Structure 1
Amino acid sequence: MTSDTRVAPSAARAASVPARRRRADIQGLRAIASLLVASYHVWFGTVSGGVDVFFAIGGFLLVHSLAGELERSGRVDVWGGIRRQARRLFPMAAIVLVVVGGLLLALGTPLSAQRTIVDVFASATYWENWRLAADATDYVAAGHDKSAFQHFWAMSAQGQVTLTLIVVFALLGVAAATIRRWSVVRIAAVTLAAATVASFAYAQWRVVVDPAHAYFDTWARLWELSLGGVVALTLARLPLGRVVRAVMGVVGVAMVLTAGLLPTEWPQPGLVTLYPVAGALLILVAGSGEPLPGPAGSLLRWRPLVWIGGISYGVYLWHWPLLKVYQLLFPQRGEVINAVEGALIIGGAMLLSWLSFRLIAAVAAARDGFARVGRLALEVSLPVVAVVALVGTLVAPAMRERALAEATAGAVIAPSEQQLSRWLDHAASEHQAMGEGMALNVDGRQSEWVDDGCATVDRSEVAQCTYPAVSPSSLDVWIVGDSHAVTWAPAVRTALGDVANVTLLGRENCQFTDAPIVDRHVEAEHRDPCRAHIPWVLELAEQERPELVLISYGGWWVGPEFGDEPDVGTQLAAGGEEHVRALQRSGAQVAWLDAPPWWYGTGDSACFEESRDHLSGELCAMPLSQERVDRHDQLGAAYAAMGAHSIDTLRWFCDVEARSCPLIVEGVPVFADQRHMGSAYSLLLSSLVAGELRPLVGV
């Protein structure tokens, strides 16, 4: 829509609007920001502050433009502003989504197709940041498991703020017509200042209670753009001396270049985010009105940087999928990218960006009868991608279910402990190749985790994470613990699903214990939710009285990398004893299923992928230290002493005598990632789980 409310602009007010000029220094700043983002992603796997620089620039320029429009005409053309943003942003995003999405669908598996299509749809509709926030994705922890479209979160957040600001400035035109004693600039500055303070306060609270969610939260990021707007309406309009502006430019460039060196454990967008934002704003203010003087101005107006700045949007969009596709095509390289490989990835992003912009420019330059068609094509390019992806999201679940059914039908299942022992002995001594159809990372995880979201279960999700028996049954079996609890779901459901209802009640990062050792190794943001979750499970058990509760969690905090914690198993068990007693008082039998020893510091997924492609004959196994054996034995003995059924699962994952834990057994990968048992291996253990658990429920 278009706001038709007008404010009669006086000649003096119109004259006060800053003269428009193209600022080469901003293009140089964009170039530095894009190169920082790309280089830190490729080589360091951390954030650089470059995205925050983009946010500050975006807010500064958008508010400068909207305020100028208000001062000149007294109104903001909302629909026209949206169309201008669409022509500027949609085409490049559409090209990246189509090319990368198509490539991933061609190279991926049926199990990964649904995730790719959902990512494309989320990115094309500007809500990828909220999808990632809902998944509590740790953006800083880069890895093979990260989406090739994850970086679209920033475009989504900025797009949402941009739309909000366009509408807000249209409403400010109405307010300025009503409050004639105040200029529209003053009203806008006060409004943006209030939004900045509120958003900044919200961000500081959010990074404490849920930092992973806060990273993607639009309202926790709003202040970065609105602060840029406040500066555009205030400080950027003040006359400053040449020396002052030169110093501001140098300081600003230094802050932007060093923002990535700040400690990564400082949460974003917290106080640390002020550093790159302030650096960018110093440059923007110093270059307002007149060209930025001094060495900073010379650097930012350097022609190669200005050229890169012109394609920086494309560089940002192309670099991350190129990195992810490179890791997909060459898994044996692992996650360490050397200087040459990184330069090729960044150079490739620059080339693809330039080619994409040339294509977009060619369409935009269409003449005669094609001119309108060309403009329309640019404006609707991304909505068309979104519609196609939406259709894909309706088809993809059936494709995934079919793929899961095929994988289950051909699952390898150990018929006995003796046979599994022979398989482990063989895998611990000879090279194993991954079988056809075996998957890793998200595709290798349990459908209960990936599709049903049952790694963390709260009060509203109990029904969703309850799997009824094939025939109506009054037997109820629960699985509680941390994210390792859900990895046992395929085995337990296969073992008991014909006679018992299976309910998952775990929570990620929530070991079913109050041991003090947990506080030393679990991040603070996970501890309070866990302390509320465990009493809720115990209260629910008193009400529902399940026949059997299975406890499983990790807590493999042993060895030098964890400071040689003493008697880890004994500590964990002692902290969980009262919980076990409470479950027993509710009438439930309790069983302990240990998680597999973490694959920690012993390799990466290249071992799996090389085995799949027969690129290497090296043994895929990790050593079993005495500390790990002790921790497992201590937990098992302690749970047995409490009257729980303690299952010696370590022998299901490792050749204990050989002190070796194979990573591939009979072609089946033990792990989906470095810590969690894969879905296929959980199924492999289903008959052994049945032998242990069916007697406990009397079948």
Structure 2
Amino acid sequence: MNSASVPGTGLALGAHAPAAKRVSYRFDLDGLRGLAIALVVVFHVWFGRVSGGVDVFLVLSGFFFTGLLIRRAESGEPGWVAAVLRRTLRRLLPAMVVVLAAVAVATFVVLPYTRWAAVAAQILASLLYVQNWELALTWSDYLAADPSVSPLQHLWSMSVQGQFYLLALAVVAGAAWVCARAGRPDLVRRTVGAVVAVLALASFGYAAHGVSTQQGWNYYDSLARGWELLAGAMIAVLLPALALPSRLRLVLSVFGLAGVVLCGWIVVDGVNRFPGPAALLPVGAAVAVVLAVAAGQDGPVPLPNRLLARPVLRWLGDIAYPLYLWHWPILIFVLAERGSPRAEVVDGSAVLAVSIVLAWLTHRWIEQPLRRPFGAGNAGGVWPRRVAAVTVVALLVPTVAVSAGWQAVAGRADPRVVADWVEPVRYPGAEALASGVRAPREPMRPSVFDAHLDVPPPTPDGCIADWDTRAVVTCTYGDPDADRTLALVGSSHAEHWLPALQGIAAEYPFRIQVYLKMGCPLTLAADATYKGQRIPDCRDWSTEVIERLGSDRPDWVFTTGTRPLDSGGDETPADYLAVWSALSDRGLNVVVVRDTPWLRRGTVRYRAADCLAGGGDRISCGMRREDALAPVNPALAPASAFPNVFPIDLSDAVCEPTLCSVEEGNILIYHDEHHLTASYSRSLAGPLSRKLGPILGWW
């Protein structure tokens, strides 16, 4: 009898249990796994949000794996730890290697070479089961490529599971050793249960706190996700001792199945709420379905569990792991080719069909042959195993070698090395637009490879608070001994003006005091977001910064006064006016600069370097000015109500009359989708100085 499995495990509820304690095979959990993967794929392809299916997978993984470990530990079988490790790796790695090799090839064919290093890093992270930390750190690193378009984003959950397996193995093995030394091997289950309960409560509390403080990190954090796996682990500990009435099991079954199916519709913003308390819905639903059937209990199997045991859902459950691995990269590569944020009916159906076919082929020719030891079976079964093993190794070696090699060649360098790359005669940059300076033909600087390094000083200096830093971080630039102070305040879109301000301060000395936080313009709104993800501490940070400014008393505050609209153009949000009012109440003078255009086609943002590397040029990779900017600076009208607020607009030093290109005066304007390169910012010193001079009165 084959063992029931969940994505990433393939472990059976009854596998390896002593004959007297063997429980019935749970076909319904095969079907639950199949239903969960169907929800995951459908929601990813057509709805662009989470369904709760991954949370169901995590519960099932904790349930099956912990149950296996406890049964092995209670059996007293020598060498069981090594056997479990071999079994788990044999079930996890082969399909993963096949998909990662395919992603490496597709990346080379489909994506621009500026994206290869990020994908290579994630391939290695996925093989080492630390992809969730790679993505968490990428989110924390505001200047990295957007992890939401990574073809390997979905493998964070496999990394969380892999880390859980190691922890669970250590805990159960440790409990077995302690109980054996104490002469009480019968206490293994109780000991494990106590540890699981404590860890689950701690993890849930940590996850609940993280939703309101660091959700960008929290979503990928193994410590926050742990309680979902531990919920399944606790059921594995308790289930043999449970005897629930038939009516209660029916209620659990009905509401459990309903919760699994409806979760994605009830919790529509799961990416901003999971794995916090909102995840109790999919987790609780999965637990309820598991509890609805237990060995030795009287009464019929509840109807919802019988429905889950239908052949179609069980078949989907069989291919759930490879289907999970395949569907996301196929979807991302299709969207990359189409340049669309969503898959329409035809494209989505094609993604679904290809994913299912590849998942079945992977299951049939890679997973199944390798699920038995090499010495098992007859000769007819040995050759498929050998062919599958050779195929996996043949794919693994070059994939690792190429990924590691590309990382070594295109590894990140110190951003400070870019500082002296350009000179104004050959590289006039913004002055080519603002003053009509002719630019000789020179290679563009920075290059598409170096663009991500050309960042303003606060980033490498650690002088901008990241996503997970609530504290106000401040540093001094310009002339620290000057009598006059300008406070540069807000998000990275305020930060990228610092090189221009430094250029001015070198000629007309003044101190520049920075108060910066990633993704957080000064705002008193409670629902601040960046790229659709909440930044819960942005308002608290802004409130403290405003108070600090009131006590520090800079001569001027410099911040952004507009933001882009996805529908086209730009605006001054209402919450900016509340900030201007708060600064006015403290008697502070404020310069609000119009934000620079954000590169996007419709709602799809893109990096300038990627577009150029993909064969575009400075014009085709740019935007029409009318799509990027409103005809008139949106800050002008609202600023007229605030005598201390002075709007300025440098758009004519960034955009031509009808076009916002990605390169002017031989300098690349953007180092990503919407941040100025430090080189272009430095070239803005002249135009900015001419705007600020009459306002500040310092020169």
TM-score normalised by the chain length of structure 2: 0.74
- CA distances 1:446-468 after superposition (whole Å, capped 9, x unpaired): 587998887636799989x9999
Aligned residues: CA RMSD? 5.4
Alignment of 1:21-170 (within 5 A): 21-73=24-76, 77-136=80-139, 146-170=149-173
Larger deviation: 43-52 or 187-196?
A: 187-196
Question: 557, 560, 565: which one pairs with 1:553?
Answer: 560
What residue is the counterpart of 1:484 in the other structure?
493
Tell me the residue number matched to 2:292: 286
Residue 189 (str. 1) matches residue 193 (str. 2): yes
| DSSP 3-state at the match of 1:264 | coil
Matches within 5 A, 1:268-283: 268-283=274-289
Q: CA deviation at 1:376?
A: 9.5
Closer, same or farther: CA 210–478 of 1 in aligned 2, 3 Å: same
Give the residue type in structure 1 aligned to 2:593: L
1:37 to partner: Cα distance: 1.1
Percent identity among equivalent residues? 26
Contact 2:95 2:366 in 1 (8 A): no
Post-superposition shift, 1:661? 7.4
What do residues 585-610 of structure 1 show as CA deviations (whole Å, max 9, x unaligned)?
Answer: xxxxx865331367899654599979
The answer on whether the counterparts of 1:114 and 1:393 sit within 8 Å (CA) in structure 2 is: yes
Deviation at 1:261, TM superposition (A): 0.8
Match of 2:650 in 1: 649
Report SS of the residue matched to 1:336: coil
Contact 2:491–2:521 (8 Å) recurs in 1: yes
1:414-425 counterparts in 2 under 5 A?
Answer: 414-415=430-431
Structure 2 residue identity aligned to 1:149: L
- AA of the residue aligned to 2:354: G
Q: Distance in 1 between matches of 2:317 and 2:159?
A: 20
Structure-2 separation of matches of 1:653 and 1:521 = 27
1:560-590 Cα offsets, whole Å, 9 max, x none, are: 999x999776543332347884xx9xxxxx8
Deviates more, 1:245-254 or 1:291-300: 291-300
> What is the one-letter code of the residue matched to 2:220?
F
SS at match of 1:510: coil
In structure 2, the CA distance between the partners of 1:623 and 1:108, relative to structure 1 (3 Å rule), is: closer
Supply the distance in 1 between the matched residues of 2:548 and 2:393 (Cα, whole angstroms).
Answer: 51
> Which whole-Å CA distance do the structure 2 matches of 1:606 and 1:557 have between them?
15
Paired residue total = 643
Residue in 2 aligned with 1:316?
A: 324
| Displacement after TM superposition at 1:34 (Å) | 1.2
Moved more, 608-617 or 121-130: 608-617
2:579 equivalent in structure 1: 572
Aligned to 2:214: 210
Report if aligned partners of 2:252, 2:288 keep a CA contact under 8 Å in 1: yes
Residue 227 (str. 1) matches residue 231 (str. 2): yes
Q: Indicate the larger mover: 406-415 or 73-82.
A: 406-415
Alignment of 1:527 onto 2:539 = yes
Deviations 1:84-104 (A, max 9, x none): 211111122222222213322
The CA distance in 2 between the partners of 1:380 and 1:88, in whole Å, is: 17
- Give 3-state SS (helix, strand or coil) of 2:558's partner: strand
What residue number does 2:429 align with? Answer: 413
Local SS of the residue matching 2:362: helix
- Whole-angstrom distance in 1 between the partners of 2:659 and 2:697: 32
Q: 1:455 and 1:130 mapped to 2: Cα distance? A: 21
User: Does the 8 A contact of 2:110 with 2:333 survive in 1?
Assistant: no
1:372-383 alignment, distance < 5 Å:
none
Mapped to 2, the partners of 1:618 and 1:600 lie a distance apart of 8
Per-residue deviation, 1:677 = 5.5
Q: For 1:345-391, what per-residue CA distance to the aligned partner results, in whole angstroms no more than 9, with x for missing partners?
A: 12222222222331454567867898799769969987985676444
Cα distance change of structure 1 residues 123 and 381 upon mapping to structure 2, 3 Å threshold = same
- CA distance in structure 2 between the partners assigned to 1:287 and 1:412 by the alignment: 73
Query: How much does 1:485 deviate?
Result: 1.8
Q: Aligned-pair distance for 1:135? A: 3.8
Which is worse superposed, 190-199 or 245-254? 245-254
Residue 407 of structure 1 deviates from its aligned partner by 11
Q: Which residue, out of 15, 18, 25, partners 2:21? A: 18
Quote the Cα distance in structure 2 between the aligned partners of 1:445 and 1:262. Answer: 43
Query: Residues of 1 paired with 2:398 and 2:549: CA distance?
Result: 46
Gap regions ≥5 residues in structure 1: 1-13, 423-434, 585-589
Per-residue displacement from partner, 1:284-322 (whole Å, max 9, x unpaired)?
222332798354234322223222211111111111111
Q: Give the deviation of 1:258 after TM superposition.
A: 0.5
Q: Could you tell me how far apart the structure 2 residues matched to 1:221 and 1:594 are?
A: 40
- Following TM superposition, by how much is the alpha carbon of 1:445 offset from its aligned partner in structure 2, in angstroms? 8.9
* Aligned ranges 1:289-438 → 2 under 5 Å: 289=295, 293-331=301-339, 334-357=340-363, 358-362=365-369, 389-397=403-411, 413-415=429-431
Mean alpha-carbon deviation: is it higher for 28-37 or for 70-79? 70-79
Q: Secondary structure at the match of 1:183?
A: helix
Higher helix share: 1
- Assess if the C-alpha contact under 8 Å between 2:622 and 2:661 holds in 1: no
Tell me, yes or no, if the aligned pair for 2:558 and 2:591 is still in contact at 8 Å. yes
Stretch of structure 1 that moved more, 110-119 or 215-224: 110-119
Cα distance change of structure 1 residues 579 and 217 upon mapping to structure 2, 3 Å threshold? farther
- CA separation of 1:454 and 1:134: change in aligned 2, threshold 3 A: farther
Which residue is 1:629 aligned to? 633
Q: Which residue identity lines up with residue 299 of structure 1 in the other structure?
A: L
Which whole-Å deviations, capped at 9, do the CAs of 1:621-664 have from their partners, x for residues lacking one?
327558x735245549958x47x8x6432544678xxxx97554
Letter matched to residue 319 of structure 1: H
What one-letter code is carried by the residue in structure 2 that aligns with 1:393?
Q
Q: 1:611 to 1:243 in 2, by over 3 A?
A: same
CA contact (8 A) 1:124 1:385 kept: no
Q: Is the 8 A contact 1:491 1:686 kept in 2?
A: yes
Moved more, 202-211 or 143-152: 143-152
Instruction: Please show how residues 665-680 of structure 1 align to structure 2 within 5 Å.
Output: none
Is the partner of 1:552 in helix, strand or coil?
strand
The 2-side partners of 1:214 and 1:130 are apart by 10
TM-score (norm 1): 0.74
